[in-house]
Amino acid sequence: MFRSKKIAKYLVPGRRVHLVGIGGVSMRPLGLVLKGMGMEVTGSDMSASAGTRELEEQGISVFIGHNAENIEGAECIIRTAAAHNDNPEIAAARAAGIPVFERAQAWGEIMKSYKNAVCISGTHGKTTTTSMMTHILMEANMDPTVMIGGYLPLLHATHRVGHGDTIVMESCEYCDSFLNFFPTLAVVLNVEADHLDYFKDLADIQKSFHKFAELATFGVVANGDDEHTTQAMQGIDYVSFGLKETNRIHADNMCPDWRHFDVICDGEFYCHLDMGVMGRHNALNGLAAAAAAWMMGVPGEAVSHGLQSFHGAGRRMEEKGSWHGAVVYDDYAHHPDELAATIDSVRTSFPGRRLVLAFQPHTYSRTAALFDDFVRELKKADVLVLAEIYAARERNTIGISSAHLAEQIPGSRFCETLPEVTRFFQEVVQEGDVVITMGAGDIFRAGEALLEIK
């Protein structure tokens, strides 16, 4: 599937394409970009939404429900990852000999038409860093096209269809999706063991990131502080970023809260950052975005102003409100390293305050593969409640539950449903607490429900 040449002849003005799952977070902007290229675009989704209504307002016909007749007249099909071969439209296309392509293949082909294709990868921090890069490019008046895996308040959306010569894409390693892309500039934030339902082990993941970096035609920016990343980049000519002075792009005059520092590029002052987000991990994300901008020739002033105006993407330590004197946040962390980074940033930003954490593991395979690491990090919370594992794309063939985590963490509570989590909050939350709902599923609903209670 990687970097298919066949798709090129179909993504041209005048041809008709049908998108299965067009209402999705990266399918919707794909449809808009293809229409902007002069293609005739139709699509389908399981239910109507604000996203499908936006598409219809832009002249794209959207069918609600998946039916074989929806693809009539289409010359090719592009599908979301959730649409499998038993989907009626996919099955009909295959039976009729209509080519079916993956979403990543289409985005990869589209990238080829941009002078600057900035692809931001890494086990952690992709959404935040892509959002930071968007703020910088908008401040620099580069009118970028953007694809982010989360909501960005600046855009009031997860995407933007621009008219400049730059595209910035969050680039995911799962199923080697990012190997379909054509980056001019590749950014590697970090490399850790994850998605072990697809990759064999850390070494297998590192090979994938190495292949991704090799695709870049202009340059590679990679985390020089992260041993797994530097191992993956062996043989690659890359520009290193990090907190250590040995990196080509590094921080100087760092404040204790990680939010205020100078960026030094090849020994010269580039810009000063007053970050609108907390934590050591976000200082590294900011350095990565600054390094990419420096590589592209963006003025340092645009980087400073862009990152000062960035206060987080949706579900990335997003402040949701307060309840009885406690502040309530929501965070997307779903890997042990992400838990560690978020908890450490809370300890730095809210010294002496009690951390009440509700964690919902994401996928059975990840929970099983990283079980001991999850236990180690979750023990750092002052009060811990565990929601049941969010299945996502999986079935529980392992027989694992969040209850097994709770058994290993003294004083923790297991709640089978989200309403139970909210009731637990009511019992334990005190004035001055920092409350976090954490996970990549729907755990945020428990916090939102708490805020509705007087």
pLDDT band at 161 (very low <50, low <70, confident <90, very high): confident
Tell me what pLDDT residue 50 has: 85
pLDDT band at 392 (very low <50, low <70, confident <90, very high): confident
pLDDT band at 158 (very low <50, low <70, confident <90, very high): confident
* Pairing, β 268-274 against β 260-265: antiparallel
Tell me what pLDDT residue 3 has: 57
Q: Cα–Cα distance between 177 and 411 in angstroms, integer?
A: 40
Location of structure tokens 């970023």: 241
Task: Please answer whether residues 194 and 162 qualify as being in contact, where contact means their C-beta atoms are separated by less than 8 angstroms.
Answer: no
What residues contact residue 189 under an 8 Å CB cut-off, 6+ apart?
120, 121, 122, 123, 124, 125, 126, 129, 223, 229, 284, 285, 288
Sign of CA dihedral 67, 73, 78, 84: positive
Full 3-state SS string of 425-437: HHHHCCCCCEEEE
Residue 60 carries which side chain, given as an amino acid letter? I
Helix axes 27-36, 50-57, angle to 10 degrees: 0
Sign of CA dihedral 347, 350, 354, 356: negative
C-alpha angle 287-290-292 in degrees, rounded to nearest 5: 110
Nearest to 189 by CA among 289, 284, 119, 122: 122
Q: Cα–Cα distance between 144 and 128 in angstroms, integer?
A: 17
* pLDDT of 178 over the 80 cut: yes
Start-to-end CA distance of the chain, whole Å, equals 53
Task: Please answer whether residues 168 and 127 qualify as being in contact, where contact means their C-beta atoms are separated by less than 8 angstroms.
Answer: no
In percent, how much of the chain has pLDDT > 90?
Answer: 90
Q: Is 38 helix (H, G, I), strand (E, B) or coil?
A: coil
Mean pLDDT within 358-369: 97
Mean pLDDT within 230-248: 98
Tell me what pLDDT residue 1 has: 54
Alpha carbon of 451 to those of 155, 423, 435: distances in Å? Answer: 26, 12, 11
Tell me what pLDDT residue 323 has: 98
* pLDDT of 285 over the 90 cut: yes
Task: Please answer whether residues 354 and 434 qualify as being in contact, where contact means their C-beta atoms are separated by less than 8 angstroms.
Answer: yes
Distance of alpha carbon 239 from its chain centroid, rounded? 23
Helix axes 336-349, 371-378, angle to 10 degrees: 10
Mean pLDDT within 220-236: 98
Tell me what pLDDT residue 4 has: 60
pTM: 0.86
In percent, how much of the chain has pLDDT > 70?
Answer: 99
**Which H or E run includes 91?**
helix 88-96
What residues contact residue 234 under an 8 Å CB cut-off, 6+ apart?
210
Q: How many other CB atoms are there within 10 angstroms of residue 8's CB atom?
A: 12
Domains and CATH numbers, the chain: 6-106 (3.40.50.720), 114-308 (3.40.1190.10), 318-451 (3.90.190.20)
Mean pLDDT within 174-184: 95
Nearest to 240 by CA among 229, 248, 228: 248
* pLDDT of 306 over the 60 cut: yes
Convert the pLDDT of each residue in 10-63 to its tens digit. Answer: 999 999 999 999 998 889 989 998 998 899 999 999 999 888 999 999 999 999
Nearest to 188 by CA among 267, 245, 125, 105: 125
Q: Cα–Cα distance between 420 and 406 in angstroms, integer?
A: 15
